Amino acid sequence: MTQHQHQHGQHQHGQDHDGNQEAGHDVEQLTDHEYWNGRYASAEGGHFWSGSANEVLARETADLSPGTALDLGCGEGGDAIHLARLGWRVTAVDVSDVALGRAADHAAEAGVADRIEWQRHDLAETFPTGAFDLVSTHFLHFRDGTLSPHVLRAAAAAVAPGGTLLIEAHGGLPPWQDEISDVHFPTPEETVDSLELAPGEWEVLLAERHPRRQTNPHTGEAVTRTDQTVKARRRPLV
Ligand SMILES: C[S@@+](CC[C@H](N)C(=O)[O-])C[C@H]1O[C@@H](n2cnc3c(N)ncnc32)[C@H](O)[C@@H]1O
């Protein structure tokens, strides 16, 4: 997916869009593979995220019949494992082989290893093949905070007729980083527009902002962030 341009120059030196610092490195010099592997490898306690499924994923897929699913930017596999437990056959993709290795271990522990295929892609360069009943992506922001319209359009194109596209993303910077960046986080409406969905072929079910509680990693304080959800259904073939 060579058309996507990473705009690494927009974020503050040594710091990503979540305000995490990469000690001793100029993160702009790292590939996404190196950068994300570094973040996962440095995680205390052997895990970086909670390991649980995202609430939005669990809620917005609860009424779907299990089929095939594609999880883009799967991280340590919480969403993929949740779906596999419900009977989905999941293709889960990430740029970090450290995250994928950890996710595969978690899937084996959960007894669902045979229902998940892990694939490493830098989605700015390559994209998995196939059509899926669910294509889901949660917080697949590139390091400068942007959501790649090119990747999101590829995600929509990978939804099979009758299938569902679910995009969860941050709606803005965390409060502890507000002052340092000029990143534009798209509104839900801009995200929908960027998908360039074929008229008549899709029904947009959700395009909304919502609050989410999170802990400030620097102070331990609970803060409220704004996230956004876009959910669309591709109409079945008649
Ligand atoms: C904020 S984490 C979210 C992980 C998981 N979806 C979750 O909600 O817990 C973003 C994930 O996207 C992955 N990622 C970032 N850039 C990527 C790229 N260019 N190609 C593939 N994955 C990427 C990272 O490795 C990371 O696992």
User: Does residue 13 have a pLDDT over 50?
Assistant: no
Q: What is the mean pLDDT of residues 75-98?
A: 98
Which residue among 17, 71, 140 has the greatest number of ligand 1 atoms within 8 angstroms of its CB, and so is best to mutate?
Answer: 140
The pair phi, psi for residue 39, each rounded to 5°, is -65, -45
Question: Which residues does a 6 A CB cutoff place in the pocket of ligand 1?
Answer: 32, 36, 49, 54, 73-75, 78, 94-96, 99, 121-124, 138-140, 142
CA of 159 relative to ligand 1 center, distance in Å: 20
pLDDT, tens digit (0-9, with 9 covering 90-100), for 182-199: 788 899 999 999 999 999
Ranked by mean pLDDT, the top range of 39-43, 48-52, 70-74 is 70-74
CA of 144 relative to ligand 1 center, distance in Å: 13
pLDDT, tens digit (0-9, with 9 covering 90-100), for 162-176: 999 999 999 988 888
53 token code pair: 């499924």
CA of 113 relative to ligand 1 center, distance in Å: 20
pLDDT value, residue 4: 29
User: Does residue 21 have a pLDDT over 70?
Assistant: no
pLDDT value, residue 179: 65
The pair phi, psi for residue 81, each rounded to 5°, is -65, -40
Domain made up of 8-234: CATH architecture: 3-Layer(aba) Sandwich (3.40)
Choose between 7 and 81: higher pLDDT.
81
Choose between 84 and 2: higher pLDDT.
84
CA of 139 relative to ligand 1 center, distance in Å: 7
Give the whole-angstrom CA distance, residue 119 versus residue 122: 10
pLDDT value, residue 112: 98
pLDDT value, residue 11: 31
pLDDT value, residue 1: 32
Q: What is the mean pLDDT of residues 11-24?
A: 43
Atom number in ligand 1 closest to CA 138 = 6
Please give the full DSSP string across the chain, using - where no structure is assigned: -TT----GGGSPTTB-TT--B-TTS-GGGS-HHHHHHHHHHT-GGG-SS-SSPPHHHHHHHTTSPP-EEEEES-TTSHHHHHHHHTT-EEEEEES-HHHHHHHHHHHHHHT-GGGEEEEE--TTT----S-EEEEEEES---TTS---HHHHHHHHHTEEEEEEEEEEEESS--GGGGGG--PPPPPHHHHHHHH-PPTTTEEEEEEEEEEEEEE-TTT--EEEEEEEEEEEEEPPP-
208 token code pair: 């909304």
CA of 64 relative to ligand 1 center, distance in Å: 24
Q: What percent of the chain has pLDDT over 90?
A: 71
